[in-house]
């Protein structure tokens, strides 16, 4: 069964550094998403992406964040100048057009020290 | 604003006994509601979804959930827990076209 994959599974970085979290969505999906979960808190929506542009973003998704689909398979989340409060589990998801079911990856645990 | 609340952060049950994971929602219109499960080192997997058809929704692995508008609840149940059910469970709601809103999750522990 096809699945969403994410790399790395765990990333440790120093405050102020840039990180890129990578996702490979399911191949025939056209909608892509990033969510995050700070330890002990809710899973929060960050951004949705379709047709090479952002469809919707939350108030969390400020200028520090960017997303990109650099080729036909990868979907990346870049965090510039990381802060301690960016430490969280980041989930990528994808979905087919005209369906509400999203398929999630296993997550990347980002630790900012 | 739409919100989802999972009432228990941890639930422990004995193998073979019923499971109840509680979820309440807040929405001004008829919501689309979901339950997802996450096993260690795996992605969130859809268990079941409610989209205004039957109020009792059956999902995978013997789980089901009942939509109760009067109680604004969508609790997840299973008659008999299995060791393999130990995982984190997330209740969620669709907000707008494609954005999910999730609760904080419930970690289910199944005791032998």
Domain that holds residue B88: 3-111
Task: Given CATH 2.60.40.10, say whether it is the number of domain A5-95.
Answer: yes
Domain count, chain B: 1
CB A21 within 8 A of CB A90: yes
Nearest-CA residue of chain B relative to A25? B43
pLDDT tier at A21 (50, 70, 90 boundaries)?
Answer: very high
List b or e across A18-46, with b for residues whose CB sees 16 or more CB atoms inside 10 angstroms.
ebebbbbbbeebebbbbbbbeeeebbbbb
Which A-chain residues 47-76 have CB contacts (< 8 A) with chain B? 48, 55-56, 58
Residues of A in contact with B32 (CB under 8 A): 100
Considering chain A, what percentage of its residues have pLDDT values greater than 90?
80
Asked if pLDDT for residue B41 goes beyond 80, the answer is: no
Nearest-CA residue of chain B relative to A36? B102
The CATH number of the domain holding residue B51 is: 2.60.40.10
pLDDT for B52: 76
The domain segmentation of chain A, as residue ranges, is: 5-95
What the block records as the tokens of B44 is: 């969130």
User: Tens digits of per-residue pLDDT, A42-86?
Assistant: 889 999 999 999 999 999 999 999 999 988 789 999 999 999 999
């Amino acid at each position: 069964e096809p699945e969403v994959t994410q790399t790395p599974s765990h990333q440790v970085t120093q405050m102020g550094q840039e990180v890129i979290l990578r996702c490979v969505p399911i191949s025939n999906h056209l909608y892509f998403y990033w969510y995050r979960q700070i330890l002990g808190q809710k899973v929060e929506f960050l951004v949705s992406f379709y047709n090479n542009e952002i469809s919707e973003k939350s108030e969390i998704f400020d200028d520090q964040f960017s997303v990109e689909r650099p080729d036909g398979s990868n979907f990346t989340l870049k965090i510039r100048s990381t802060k301690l409060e960016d430490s969280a589990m980041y989930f990528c998801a994808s979905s087919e057009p005209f369906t509400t079911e999203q398929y999630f990856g296993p997550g990347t645990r980002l630790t900012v020290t | 604003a739409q919100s989802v609340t999972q009432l228990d952060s941890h639930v422990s049950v004995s193998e073979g006994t019923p499971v109840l994971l509680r979820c309440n929602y807040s929405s001004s219109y008829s919501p689309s509601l979901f339950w997802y499960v996450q096993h260690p080192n795996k992605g969130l997997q859809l268990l079941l979804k409610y989209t205004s058809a039957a109020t009792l929704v059956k999902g995978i692995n013997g789980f089901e959930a009942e939509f109760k508008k009067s109680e604004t609840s969508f609790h997840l149940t299973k008659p008999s827990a299995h060791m393999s059910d130990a995982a984190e469970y997330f209740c969620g709601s669709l907000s707008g076209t494609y954005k999910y809103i999730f609760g904080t999750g419930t970690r289910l522990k199944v005791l032998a």
